[in-house]
C-alpha cells in the first residue's frame, strides 16, 4: 500500500506496474490550463530568466567576438528540449506539493535534493545530458558532411549558406529529421519518468519502462504533446528568449498534470 514517506517526501511504491490510461486532445488542453494555473499560483519566471540569459549572452558574445560557433547556435538551442525534463524537476515538485496542499513556496523546488529521488533524477539527468551532447556531435557531423571543415565567419554568411544553397536545404532537412529522432526517443524515455520519480519512490528502470508504456498507449496524443512543447519553445524563443521564462515553467507544470492523467496506482 502506498504511504507518505518521511524521508523522500513522496510515496513508497511496490513492484506492481501502474495502470496506464489512454488520453485525448481535450486532456492536453486541460493539463495546459492546469499548468498555467500552477504558474500563476507560484510564478518562477525570474528563476528561469537567471538560467536562460547567461547562456544566451555567452553564445551571443562568442558569436560577435568572432568565434566560429555560429553553426552551433541552432543545435544548442533546439537541444534544450532534450534536457527540458531535467530542468523542470523542481516544477514537478512544486506542482506535487500544491496538489497535496503542502507548502509550495519557490524554495521547496529544491526539496527534491533532500530526497531519495535525487539519486534517480541524477541518473536520468546524466542520460539526457548524454543525448544532448550526442546531438551536438551529430549536428557537427551533418554540418561537416555538407560544408566541410570550413566554418561560417558571420551570422550573415551562415544564413546565406543555409537558406540559399542546395547544401543548406539538405542540411536543414537531414538535421531536422535526425533531431526528430532524438526528440522522440527522449520523449518516450522521460515524459513520465521524471514526474513519476518525483511522485513515487521507484527505480530508474521502472520509471523509464512506465514512460515508454505511456507513449506506446498514447502514440498520437504524446506526439501532439511533443509538437506542442516544440512549438511553444520556438514561440517563446522569438522575442529575444524572454518568452521562455514563462513557457518553460508552464510546460513543466503541465507535464506534471499530464503524468497524473496518464498514470494511476
pTM for the model stands at: 0.85
Residue 147 covered by a domain: yes
Residue 15 covered by a domain: no
Residue 1 covered by a domain: no
Residue 240 covered by a domain: yes
Please state, as a whole number, how many other Cβ atoms lie within 10 Å of the Cβ of residue 60: 12
Cβ atoms of 172 and 74 within 8 Å: the answer is: no
Contacts of 261 (CB under 8 A, 6+ apart): 21, 23, 27, 30, 31
pLDDT of amino acid 1: 35
Range scoring the smallest mean pLDDT among 6-20, 28-42, 150-164, 249-263:
6-20
Residue 209 covered by a domain: yes
Residue 177 covered by a domain: yes
Query: Which residues are paired to 200 by β-bridges?
Result: 11
**Residue 79 backbone dihedrals phi, psi, to 5 degrees:** -65, -15
Q: Is 228 exposed, middle or buried (0-12, 13-18, 19+ CB in 10 A)?
A: middle
Residue 23 cell numbers, joined: 488520453
Cβ atoms of 198 and 93 within 8 Å: the answer is: yes
Residue 240 belongs to domain spanning: 20-264
Residue 165 covered by a domain: yes
Tell me the per-residue pLDDT of 30-56, one tens digit each, with 9 for 90 and over.
Answer: 999 999 999 999 887 666 655 665 566
Q: What's the distance, CA 166 to chain centroid?
A: 32
Angle at alpha carbon of residue 23, lines to 22 and 24, rounded to 5°: 135
**Percentage with pLDDT > 70 across the chain:** 82
How many domains, in total, are found in the chain?
Answer: 1
Residue 131 covered by a domain: yes
Tell me the per-residue pLDDT of 122-174, one tens digit each, with 9 for 90 and over.
Answer: 999 999 999 999 999 999 999 999 988 777 777 788 888 899 999 999 999 99
Amino acid at each position: 500500500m502506498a504511504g507518505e514517506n518521511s524521508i523522500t517526501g513522496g510515496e513508497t511504491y511496490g513492484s506492481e506496474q501502474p495502470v496506464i490510461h489512454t488520453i485525448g486532445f481535450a486532456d492536453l488542453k486541460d493539463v495546459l490550463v492546469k499548468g498555467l494555473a500552477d504558474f500563476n499560483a507560484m510564478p518562477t519566471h525570474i528563476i528561469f530568466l537567471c538560467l536562460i540569459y547567461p547562456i544566451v549572452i555567452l553564445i551571443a558574445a562568442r558569436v560577435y567576438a568572432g568565434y566560429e560557433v555560429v553553426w552551433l547556435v541552432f543545435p544548442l538551442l533546439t537541444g534544450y528540449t532534450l534536457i527540458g525534463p531535467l530542468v523542470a524537476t523542481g516544477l514537478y515538485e512544486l506542482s506535487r506539493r500544491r496538489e497535496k496542499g503542502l507548502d509550495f513556496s519557490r524554495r521547496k523546488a529544491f526539496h527534491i535534493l533532500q530526497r531519495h529521488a535525487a539519486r534517480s533524477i541524477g541518473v536520468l539527468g546524466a542520460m539526457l545530458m548524454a543525448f544532448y551532447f550526442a546531438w551536438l556531435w551529430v549536428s557537427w557531423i551533418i554540418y561537416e558532411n555538407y560544408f566541410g571543415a570550413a566554418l561560417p565567419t558571420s551570422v550573415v554568411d551562415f544564413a546565406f549558406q543555409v537558406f540559399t544553397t542546395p547544401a543548406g536545404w539538405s542540411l536543414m532537412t537531414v538535421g531536422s529529421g535526425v533531431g526528430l529522432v532524438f526528440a522522440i526517443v527522449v520523449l518516450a524515455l522521460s515524459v513520465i519518468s521524471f514526474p513519476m520519480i518525483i511522485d513515487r519512490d521507484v527505480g530508474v528502470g521502472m520509471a523509464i519502462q512506465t514512460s515508454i508504456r505511456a507513449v506506446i498507449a498514447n502514440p498520437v496524443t504524446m506526439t501532439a504533446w511533443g509538437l506542442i512543447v516544440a512549438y511553444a519553445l520556438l514561440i517563446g524563443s522569438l522575442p529575444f528568449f524572454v518568452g521562455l521564462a514563462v513557457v518553460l515553467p508552464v510546460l513543466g507544470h503541465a507535464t506534471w498534470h499530464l503524468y497524473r492523467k496518464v498514470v494511476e496506482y
